[in-house]
Structure 1
């Protein structure tokens, strides 16, 4: 039954995702590396400032270093600049309030409101907390003399330099995997959706099946947005990062593949939306006859093979272009026979079949472009 095949498809996708999480520990490995780097940066900062120099404000160095091992070198630099500014402003606010009031409680009441407001400024992001916490430390330990302020800023600067240096020079993060994983997921899910649609049409389909196809197509749109986010993340990871020169890596797939899969997802959403309108008691379009369903089954099955070939091409050094080409020929042949059925239909059925023919034609044109040519003029 259709619902059983749908459950099997959903379970297969879930099982594949869990299997990848267990066997491909890429993101977890990256997180572990960054965590160890942050801990190492903090230990190094303490060893230099606290153990060797015996600085009076040695806590500032590891406190600053540990949070500046960010997910990209660019973010480390940006966070470092923000953090130093906020530590300086928090220190000055606390010192100014203490000199005006001469009382710790009164100084806190005077310094913390502007410090918290400053910390909540959106441009400072997560680093905003350093303004009020620095003011609290300064007032709690009465360390607001000129010498103490100079030590605090100097040790924060040392910690920032150590944190940024460790992130940039020790296995600097270069986020390439996210783009490939998102592209692979889009290709896999597109092929699976097409295959499920083809299988369901062999025995007819109901409105529940059509709505499930439509929801699957809409999820592809969400995956396209995830791919765009991953692409921006990858570009950011290259900024100010020596990692793409110091470490061997494979360049991310070209941007044309993003446009290609975005087009496929959009065409599938339109096609499945039309199929929803042809199913159920309150359908808006006539149900396609069995002969049309047979042709759609052949067309969608061949389209699924094209998506599977495109997925294999992501990692294959020499993709099998012949298999993809043969699948495209079969898809176009089925589409030609589908259009040939239009004169045999009554007006209402011809409207529905014509709509499906138009939607599948747009899908095949999108597939014909290929992942490396989409978006080019």
Structure 2
């Protein structure tokens, strides 16, 4: 059944998300309870709220690397806010003037910080202002220790209790991108062979431009997957390697998508060119349709390595190599035909050149895909 594949992928994603929510909730609970039990005995009046809030922030970071970097930023920002509160309280006391000075200094002194960092410095300073007026050193040391303790617990829980990995999401995003590109190439090839250039050219161009959204999503997922491997204990345990993030493959597919967009744009412009002698000849369109279909099959074979498109004994790599070889053979034939001047519709030579250049670059990108 044609819908079986997408339904299985959707069910798999929902199951993965549900399991992820359970793990996420368990880690949050562990971090909160562990921080509470550690900090309560020595926190002022037994109120370790700052430590728990910091631990929750760290354990909810999307990756272990992010939890460490966020912890560093959080500790620095809060300590800076506490020092600022102490200084202003000693000079001006807990007054409206002290609040104004804090707001101005947080903006002016740290222009290179992000808006969130400046806001955290200012908010921490304002909240701590009243306490610093009555117990300056205590109000500085206790929140700093709570922040450090909460950050340490949050990082430890995030790193040791099923630290997040995003390899499946990266895999899925890259395959979705490859599947979309392959489908569009096949549709363009089928449309050209069916003499449907004029009615479908702008639809192809719209679909090619819409690939940008999938490119952005795939790039974000690939970057997140790469980051999730940094300092991740699961990578050490399972000897994961960075190549599993599909970073190299994504770069190749991004190049392929650029050529696909160029082909779609050239076909759309030619379909509505008022100069009849610029229109592409049927001989070229038939051959170009074949190369687009072969290229689409090559990308689809990469997107669905387990799907049999040839004999059961043919590996995905062999199917991809065969599709590329067939396209390259046609490309050489067409280049020779154009060079000898035997191609019909010679007035459209500039259009032929543009389409052939994009096809050549697309094939080069696919060849790199086969290598990876």
- Interval of TM-score (by shorter of Structure 1 and Structure 2): 0.7 to 0.9
Match of 1:239 among 219, 230, 234: 230
Are the aligned partners of 2:302 and 2:316 in contact in 1 as well (CA < 8 Å)? no
Q: How far does the alpha carbon of each residue in 1:163-191 deviate from its partner, in whole angstroms, 9 at most, with x for none?
A: 11111111112332343123202210111
**Structure 2 counterparts to residues 283-302 of structure 1, below 5 A:** 286-302=278-294
Are the aligned partners of 1:210 and 1:272 in contact in 2 as well (CA < 8 Å)? yes
For the residue of structure 2 that corresponds to 1:85, the secondary structure is: helix
- In the superposition, relative to structure 1, how do residues 208 and 19 fare at CA in structure 2: closer, same or farther (>3 Å)? farther
Match of 1:327 among 319, 323, 326: 323
Cα distance in 2 between the residues matched to 1:286 and 1:41: 69
**Structure 2 counterparts to residues 44-193 of structure 1, below 5 A:** 44-50=34-40, 52-53=41-42, 55-56=44-45, 57-69=47-59, 70-115=61-106, 117=108, 121-124=111-114, 126-141=116-131, 144-193=135-184
- How many angstroms does 1:94 deviate by? 1.6
The alignment status of 1:277 with 2:269, answered yes or no, reads yes
TM-score scaled by length of structure 2: 0.81
For the residue of structure 1 that corresponds to 2:162, the secondary structure is: coil
- Comparing 156-165 with 15-24, greater Cα deviation is found at 15-24
Equivalent residue number for residue 345 of structure 1: 344
Cα distance in 1 between the residues matched to 2:116 and 2:27: 20
Are the aligned partners of 1:309 and 1:324 in contact in 2 as well (CA < 8 Å)? yes
- In the superposition, relative to structure 1, how do residues 272 and 28 fare at CA in structure 2: closer, same or farther (>3 Å)? farther
Equivalent residue number for residue 3 of structure 1: none
Unaligned runs of 5+ in 2: none
Equivalent residue number for residue 7 of structure 1: none
Equivalent residue number for residue 4 of structure 1: none
- How many angstroms does 1:116 deviate by? 5.1
Are the aligned partners of 1:49 and 1:55 in contact in 2 as well (CA < 8 Å)? no
Cα distance in 2 between the residues matched to 1:332 and 1:89: 63
Cα distance in 1 between the residues matched to 2:85 and 2:307: 57
Cα distance in 2 between the residues matched to 1:67 and 1:121: 24
- Comparing 15-24 with 100-109, greater Cα deviation is found at 15-24
Equivalent residue number for residue 311 of structure 1: 303
- Comparing 337-346 with 97-106, greater Cα deviation is found at 337-346
Cα distance in 2 between the residues matched to 1:361 and 1:319: 25
Are the aligned partners of 2:178 and 2:253 in contact in 1 as well (CA < 8 Å)? yes
Cα distance in 1 between the residues matched to 2:130 and 2:10: 46
Are the aligned partners of 2:39 and 2:146 in contact in 1 as well (CA < 8 Å)? yes
Equivalent residue number for residue 230 of structure 1: 221
- In the superposition, relative to structure 1, how do residues 304 and 145 fare at CA in structure 2: closer, same or farther (>3 Å)? same
TM-score scaled by length of structure 1: 0.80
- How many angstroms does 1:215 deviate by? 3.2
Are the aligned partners of 1:38 and 1:68 in contact in 2 as well (CA < 8 Å)? no
For the residue of structure 1 that corresponds to 2:272, the secondary structure is: coil
Cα distance in 2 between the residues matched to 1:216 and 1:55: 61
Are the aligned partners of 1:79 and 1:127 in contact in 2 as well (CA < 8 Å)? no
Are the aligned partners of 2:225 and 2:245 in contact in 1 as well (CA < 8 Å)? no
- Comparing 268-277 with 248-257, greater Cα deviation is found at 248-257
Q: How far does the alpha carbon of each residue in 1:278-312 deviate from its partner, in whole angstroms, 9 at most, with x for none?
A: 11154697222333332233222222111111122
- In the superposition, relative to structure 1, how do residues 283 and 94 fare at CA in structure 2: closer, same or farther (>3 Å)? farther
Cα distance in 2 between the residues matched to 1:64 and 1:143: 25
- In the superposition, relative to structure 1, how do residues 351 and 85 fare at CA in structure 2: closer, same or farther (>3 Å)? closer
